[in-house]
Amino acid sequence: MKLKDDKPIRPNDKSTKVVPMAIMFVVLCGFSFYLGGIFCSEKNGFVTEEVVKSVESSQKTVSTPRWMKYGRHRLTFMERHCPAAFDRKECLIPPPDGYKEPIRWPKSKNECWYRNVPYDWINKQKSNQHWLRKEGEKFYFPGGGTMFPNGVSAYVDLMQNLIPGMKDGTVRTAIDTGCGVASWGGDLLDRGILTVSLAPRDNHEAQVQFALERGIPAILGIISTQRLPFPSNSFDMAHCSRCLIPWTEFGGIYLLEVHRILRPGGFWVLSGPPVNYENRWRGWNTTVGEQKSDYEKLQELLTSMCFKLYNKKDDIAVWQKSSDNSCYKKLDTPDNYPPRCDDGTEPDSGWYTPLRPCVVVPDPKIKKLSLKSIAKWPERLNVAPERISDVRGGSDGAFKHDDSKWKSRVKHYKKLLPALGTNKIRNVMDMNTAYGGFAAALINDPLWVMNVVSSYAPNTLPVVYDRGLVGTFQDWCEAFSTYPRTYDLLHVDGLFTTESHRCEMKHVLLEMDRILRPNGYAIIRESSYFVDAIATIAKGMKWGCHKEATEYDIETEKVLICQKKLWYSKQSS
């Protein structure tokens, strides 16, 4: 995925000779990355985060921005698009000028360093809505939002009154589409609800980067033409607070994707147009008739997908996805829209899978799938989900063994890396999890874990979500959907052994370096065959690593404990 930080700027060149854009890129990033030792440079010009916005007026060749290659229909250009292999950059990304070590949790939830996320547009445009404000060297997050001018806590209090399950552990996982700076997800953390905040890189510039800088779970993404990278029947709740997604357009295809990822009995919460149109329409640059029509169309679409209006008050409306199979049987009626999805596409397929105008019906064979049938949080963390039987070799016994194994491993890791379990480590990624055992063993520490399941591995992500944890699908031959410098700890368990036949080791390590914060850590558990080669490349990336024995102290497997150093390009002041 080509992100802002991947794009190089033109190096300083006082020569009057015109350099075509193609040659410029070759000069910048054409050198091979030999064991991590050579950086993309010309005349000491390192790759920086600024996008090329203009070229010299004397140049005859003008470079077309990459995103313009993709259509604007349904905002396709904001989706995930990865460059061809020959266009892949093999270089390190320095931090912005003035970068500081991030403020630690929980203080980080309310403030961050401006130089770490130096974006002004969102501050200028949203300061009147109290999303954030800039004072001196910091951004502050007062917890405001377009639909919650009295603060996010008061907004969530009202929501909890409408959904009692948010108070007793029934609702544990949530997704916030169009998350802003993730204040809603941040508030829910204090209430025991783990939220994935989702937003694209749009004119707001860096919503997801703000969220992660604050220590709140988030990922880049948009509901457009592809499914979101999550399995079906995963989230207990989905939320949209004036997120500007045209829910009733294109046959309700965006609502159908929300339906797919929401578990039976789960809640969809909408605040903003057209909810409360009777009192709000004047501020929406529309007519009461248009908003009334939109609301009726929305209600009709939701009913056709087996949602029912659960509760409503003021600006907030709540619908609940049906767990009654009799409703889904009605979808088989001839000429019914939307129809039931056939068996042509797996319900859990969420990696480059096109959206389909049909309803993914929950499997009636799975009895403990609905919100009312699974255990409440925190009990559900340690209960083997029914869907583990869908995994090859999965069983209650395998689940318990995995849980026990990771408790032992994490205890050992904390001896090797004393920072683990302290407020020095907040944002954590388990790059190739099975059942979320690593995250479960850390559940009482002041951190959260993004559980990643390879798109080529057995699909265990539904098990992760049924436990009350969160995660995403990913192919590690490609970039991860996040900004640079967004994670404090990356954990790898045999990833290179498993994926070396598909992905080049240096490309995976370069991506790890991109998303790891300066002074952040990596725990790399690998076969002895790979460990030394990884350590060599890591040294070239300015990492400090030391090799340790596993808790079993066997020769065939070792643990690398690495720390990424804070460094600046020579062009920084």
Helix (H) or strand (E) holding 307: strand 307-313
Measured CA distances, 197 to 173, 219, 232, 240, 470 (Å): 11, 6, 18, 11, 11
pLDDT of res. 205: 67
The answer to whether 477 and 503 are in contact (CB under 8 A) is yes
Instruction: For the chain, give the mean pLDDT.
Output: 87
Which of 231-235, 272-276, 463-467, 509-513 is predicted with the least confidence, judged by mean pLDDT?
A: 272-276
Higher-confidence residue: 180 or 232?
Answer: 232
As a whole number of angstroms, the distance between CA 519 and CA 530 comes to 23
Which stretches does DSSP call E strand in 193-288? 194-199, 218-220, 235-241, 262-271
Strands (DSSP E) along 421-550, which ranges? 427-430, 448-454, 471-474, 487-493, 516-527, 543-549
Residue 294 has pLDDT above 70, yes or no: yes
Fold of 379-564: Rossmann fold (3.40.50)
What CATH number was assigned to the domain covering residues 107-332? 3.40.50.150
Place of tokens 């802002």: 4
Strand 427-430, strand 316-321: pairing: unpaired
Task: Identify whether 378 is preceded by a cis peptide bond (ω within 30 of 0).
Answer: yes
Q: Are 209 and 203 in contact (CB under 8 A)?
A: no
As given in the structure block, the two tokens for residue 349 are 């397929």
Query: What was the pLDDT predicted at 160?
Result: 97
**Helix (H) / strand (E) containing 98:** none
Q: How far apart are CA 447 and CA 489, in angstroms?
A: 10
Of 62-66, 255-259, 464-468, the poorest mean pLDDT is in: 62-66
And the tokens for 463? 């098990």
pLDDT for 95 beyond 50: yes
Q: Any idea how long the chain is?
A: 573
CA angle 74, 80, 82 (to 5 degrees): 135
Mean pLDDT across 424-435: 98
Alpha carbons 556 and 373: distance in angstroms, whole number: 43
At a CB cut-off of 8 Å and minimum separation 6, what does 339 contact?
Answer: 331, 332, 358, 359
CA dihedral 560, 565, 139, 118 (to 10 degrees): -120
pLDDT the model gives residue 63: 57
Question: Whose CA is closest to 350, among 435, 228, 460?
Answer: 228
* Average pLDDT estimate for 214-234: 96
Distance CA 344, CA 317 (A): 34
Q: Is residue 421 pLDDT above 90, yes or no?
A: yes
Whose CA is closest to 348, among 337, 328, 338, 362? 362
Question: Is the pLDDT reported for residue 199 higher than 70?
Answer: yes
Backbone φ and ψ for 187, nearest 5 degrees, come out as -65, -35
Q: Which secondary structure element, helix H or strand E, spans residue 380, and what is its range?
A: none
Q: How far apart are CA 154 and CA 151, in angstroms?
A: 6
Task: Quote the pLDDT of residue 285.
Answer: 78
Binned at pLDDT 50, 70 and 90, residue 64 comes out as low
pLDDT of residue 429 exceeding 80, the answer is: yes
**Rounded Cα–Cα distance for residues 573 and 570 (Å):** 8
Confidence of residue 398 (pLDDT cuts 50, 70, 90): very high
Does residue 112 register a pLDDT over 60?
yes
pLDDT at residue number 75: 83
- Sequence-distant (6+) residues with CB within 8 A of 30 are none
Would you state the pLDDT for residue 282?
75
**Sheet holding 516-527: strands in order across?**
471-474, 448-454, 427-430, 487-493, 516-527, 557-564, 543-549
**Given this model, what pLDDT does residue 49 score?**
31
Confidence of residue 76 (pLDDT cuts 50, 70, 90): confident
* 280-289, 370-379, 403-412, 512-521: the lowest-pLDDT one: 280-289
- The SS3 assignment for 125 reads helix
Q: Are 107-332 and 379-564 in the same CATH fold?
A: yes
418 has pLDDT over 70: yes
48 pLDDT above the threshold of 70? no
Backbone φ, ψ for residue 25 (5° rounding) = -65, -35
pLDDT above 90: residue 100 = yes
Rounded Cα distance, 254 and 177, in Å: 11
Q: Quick one: DSSP state of residue 140?
A: E
| pLDDT for the residue numbered 33 | 35
The predicted pLDDT at position 344 comes to: 78
Q: How confident is the model over 239-265, as a mean pLDDT?
A: 94
Q: Do 259 and 321 form a contact (C-beta atoms < 8 A)?
A: yes
Residue 203 pLDDT grade (very low, low, confident, very high; cuts 50, 70, 90): low
Contact yes or no for 288/277 (Cβ under 8 A): yes
Instruction: Give the pLDDT confidence score for residue 20 in this predicted structure.
Output: 42
Q: Which 8-state DSSP code applies to residue 490?
A: E
525: nearest Cα among 447, 403, 401, 430: 430
Domains of the chain, by residue range, sit at 107-332, 379-564
Query: How would residue 571 be classed by pLDDT, with cut points 50, 70 and 90?
Result: low
Low-confidence winner among 213-217, 363-367, 537-541 (lowest mean pLDDT): 363-367
Quick one: what percent of the chain has pLDDT higher than 90? 71
Q: Residue 404 above 60 pLDDT?
A: yes
Distance CA(158)–CA(153), nearest Å, equals: 9
In three-state secondary structure terms, 546 is strand
Using a 10 angstrom Cβ sphere, with 0-12 exposed, 13-18 middle and 19 or more buried, the burial of residue 393 is exposed
Q: pLDDT digit string (tens) for 473-509? A: 999 999 999 999 999 999 999 999 999 999 999 999 9
Give the number of other Cβ atoms within 10 Å of residue 171's Cβ. 26
pLDDT over 80 at 68, yes or no: no
Whether pLDDT at 47 is above 70: no
132 pLDDT band, cuts 50/70/90, is confident
Q: Is the pLDDT of residue 54 over 50?
A: no
**Percent of the chain beyond pLDDT 70?**
86
Look at the pTM and tell me if it is higher than 0.85.
yes
Round to whole Å and give the CA distance between 400 and 322. 31
Report strand pairing: 557-564 vs 516-527: antiparallel
The confidence score (pLDDT) of residue 42 equals 32
Do 35 and 510 meet the contact criterion of CB atoms below 8 Å apart? no
5-14, 338-347, 483-492: least confident range: 5-14
Are 13 and 19 within 8 A, CB to CB? yes
Question: Does the pLDDT value for residue 390 go beyond 70?
Answer: yes
